[in-house]
Structure 1
Amino acid sequence: MAGRVDDAVGYAEAAQEAVTSGRFDEVSKDAEDGIGSPYAAIGQTDRWVEWCLTVIARRPATNVHAKALLAIAQENGRFR
């Protein structure tokens, strides 16, 4: 796989920590749910699913995009 996948995963981990810490301004809900997507590139879709569930728990009534990404992550994980 081409690219800087390891960097992307590191950025995802740092972003998740920043979002959940509460020490920073809120991230747009549509940006927040995509933070876990690099995990698909390394075959760890369970981590992406976990992040989607975290985002949905934070904003349950308003997050259609996170629910769609959750379905994609779950489906992607079935074929690994």
Structure 2
Amino acid sequence: MRAVAAIGALPAAGGFMWQVIADTVDAPSWIRALSPFAHLAAVPATAPDWAATSVMAGIAAAGVIAGIIGYRRRDLCA
């Protein structure tokens, strides 16, 4: 059960750290683009990028649906 929190936090924390490190070492733009945070606008400094936000929300919704399906199909006999 403890691993669930760590695995769940990995995309957010890892993506943020990836972006910070890539910006710090002046990495190429394609490496910076691997972070999900690189595709979101720096709100409120700029207007939101609704297309990127919608794609990220869609990916999250697909993950939630896959998790619900996986949870329902789990093996209850341990």
Return the TM-score normalized by structure 2. 0.33
Q: Which structure carries more relative contact order (alpha carbon 8 Å, separation 6+)?
A: 1
Larger Rg: 2
Return the TM-score normalized by structure 1. 0.32
